Amino acid sequence: MTADAMRRLLDHVGEALEEMGPFDSAQEEADAHRHLLRLCSAGLELYVERADPARPLPTVWMSPTRKFLGDSPDTIYTTVPVSPDHTYALTIQPGNAVYIGVVVYARDEPGGPVRAVSSVIDTRLESVDGRFEIKVGSDVDPDDPQGLLLDDRSFWIMVREYFSDPRNHRASTITIERTDGDITDGLPNPDDLTAGIDAAADWILSQARADAALYGLMAFPQGSSVQAEQDVEVPDDLVSLFYPTPDIAYQGCRFTLETDDQLEITFRPPACRFWSVVVSTPWFESLEQRSTPASINSATAEVDEDGKVTVVVSESNPGLANWIPLRGYRKGQVAYRVLLGESELSEATYVVGTNRRSGDSEPLAVLATTKLDGRDDGGR
């Protein structure tokens, strides 16, 4: 029973492997395969090792060595499995995040699209001895500012934390306890383990396909030597695979740059809690940021006198403050996100050239038109 599930897992990983490519170099191929290994790591943790809502454990999705889903080095995402059959006490001891948001997600059918059920953010929560204590369950009053309602399809809680300086952040301490019974230890249930392995296998394959589909859908910038769109199969639940939240809006583009090219992103950010520009690989992983910046955000950016921001993405230093180095990548994508914006986003401009240019371009079609911001999902 579990052996068959293990074989199906390996088959799904093999299928995802075969669908990757073609590649321009051995380094690009290795990068793609590392991405698939990272998906395997996350899938097994999310759906097997830490997936039991009767014995809930938080999982930190992303890290410097595990990236996917358009992650940002400015953020930490933590998920917790839940079930309407149980009640919980979720405790968050904040670090130095500039924003903490919590969303409950549900699926109306196994493997189907996800939707937001309920959510809270730090400004709505009362601190008790420096902690946020949140009641979670199907009996929670939807208007309770200290509670999260579970409907009959809820399966996950996600905690998002945003940091102004990701290299000097202090993450929250997140714990969850069941409040409706004891937790028991013992041998795994074969049915549950089989279901978990199959869920991990399905997620790994669907996520690999979603990353490829999103890359194929995004527009190239003005001035790009590459403009042809890829012929990609778009999953019906593409947006939901990225777990939209009602608090964030996105724009972006993809790019293919020569060594001497640079991509210039210009925008006027609205009043908001936080914004960032992040450069990712074609697999939708943020570039490594252990020693080199992969993002520019509202706390670190240089802003013009008229309120505009220009970010340059290139291999060599253009001599500008808002520079994100490519460190050998030639293909990738850029995500511009705004957290709790007080007005609609004006469209950013994306221009490729060998010399700095600004103010002479028309706005491009941007990813925000696909509603990745989640504002249509009734997530409050």
The closest alpha carbon to 358, from 261, 220, 264, belongs to 264
- The whole-number pLDDT of residue 140 equals 95
d(CA 267, CA 77): 26
Q: Treating both helix axes as pointing N-terminal to C-terminal, what angle do 2-19 and 190-217 enclose, rounded to 10 degrees?
A: 10
371: amino acid identity, one letter: K
Query: Is the pLDDT at 162 greater than 80, yes or no?
Result: yes
Query: Is the pLDDT at 293 greater than 80, yes or no?
Result: yes
The enclosing H or E element of 325 equals strand 323-325
d(CA 84, CA 285): 33
Q: Stretch 139-159: mean pLDDT, rounded?
A: 95
126 and 145 Cβ atoms separated by less than 8 Å: yes
CA distances from 192 to 6, 50, 86, 203 (A): 13, 12, 17, 16
> What are 25-40's pLDDT values in tens digits?
999 999 999 999 999 9
Q: Which residue has the higher pLDDT, 2 or 217?
A: 2
- The whole-number pLDDT of residue 362 equals 38
- The whole-number pLDDT of residue 376 equals 32
The closest alpha carbon to 259, from 315, 221, 325, belongs to 315
> What are 54-76's pLDDT values in tens digits?
999 999 988 878 888 888 889 99
Model pTM score: 0.85
Q: For 28, list phi and psi in degrees, rounded to 5.
A: -65, -40
pLDDT-based confidence at 368, cuts 50/70/90? very low
- The whole-number pLDDT of residue 374 equals 38
pLDDT-based confidence at 135, cuts 50/70/90? very high
Q: Percent of the chain beyond pLDDT 70?
A: 88
Query: Is the pLDDT at 12 greater than 90, yes or no?
Result: yes
Name the least confident of 62-76, 90-104, 253-267. Answer: 62-76
- The whole-number pLDDT of residue 304 equals 94
Token readout for 309 is 């921001």
